Amino acid sequence: MTAPLIGDEAAWVNAIRNAAREIAIYALGYTGATAGTPVRADRAAGMTGADVPLVGTGQHYRVALVAARPARDALARALLGVGPRAELSPTDIADAIGELANQLAGVVKRGVVKVVGELVLGVPIEVTGDLEPEQIRAVSAVPITLGAVTAIVLVSRRPAA
């Protein structure tokens, strides 16, 4: 069982669900998306992606979109509108996943403003290498399915400096 987010975890999960649907339909051209209930953060072990800081007064969140390499590459291809066999450079994949993480974090930010107050969206940061369980300090991990592609949204919180 994951530790609950400070505030209303249901609001965060609902915001992630709405964000997944929005980017699936409008950014990726998929017919829809789902978000599951929070799972143990170590389920993201072996995944890569991008994370985006959300900073507010007295609080600092990070929202990360991570997936196994084949799923991450499929998401990048869908965002870039190329076929499933198209070769993409590592830079193109990182840029596309960073953009998806940024879009996801922006919609999540909108969805939790009533719970945590105003937040400022930061710049996406590539999560390089495979995530190991000891590197995952997420307070909540929410599995999502975008079209037929599965990923995990990790949300962590720490007090702002």
Closest CA to 46 of 126, 133, 124: 133
CA dist 123 and 158 (Å) reads 18
Measured in Å, how far apart are the chain's first and last C-alpha atoms?
28
pLDDT in tens, 21-47: 999 999 999 999 999 999 988 888 889
As given in the structure block, the two tokens for residue 68 are: 């196994």
Pairing relation of β-strands 59-67 and 140-146? unpaired
What is 9-158's CATH number?
3.40.1550.10
Q: How many whole angstroms from its chain centre is CA 118?
A: 19
Q: Where are the domains of the chain?
A: 9-158
Residues 6+ apart with CB under 8 A from 144: 16, 17, 20, 33, 34, 35, 36, 150, 151, 152, 153
Q: Which residues are bridge partners to 157 per DSSP?
A: 61
- pLDDT per residue over 103-149, tens digit each? 999 999 999 998 888 999 999 988 866 666 556 666 788 999 999 99
Number of H-type helices and E-type strands within the chain: 3, 7
Residue 59 has pLDDT above 60, yes or no: yes
Contact assessment for residue 32 and residue 21, using Cβ atoms and an 8 Å cutoff: yes
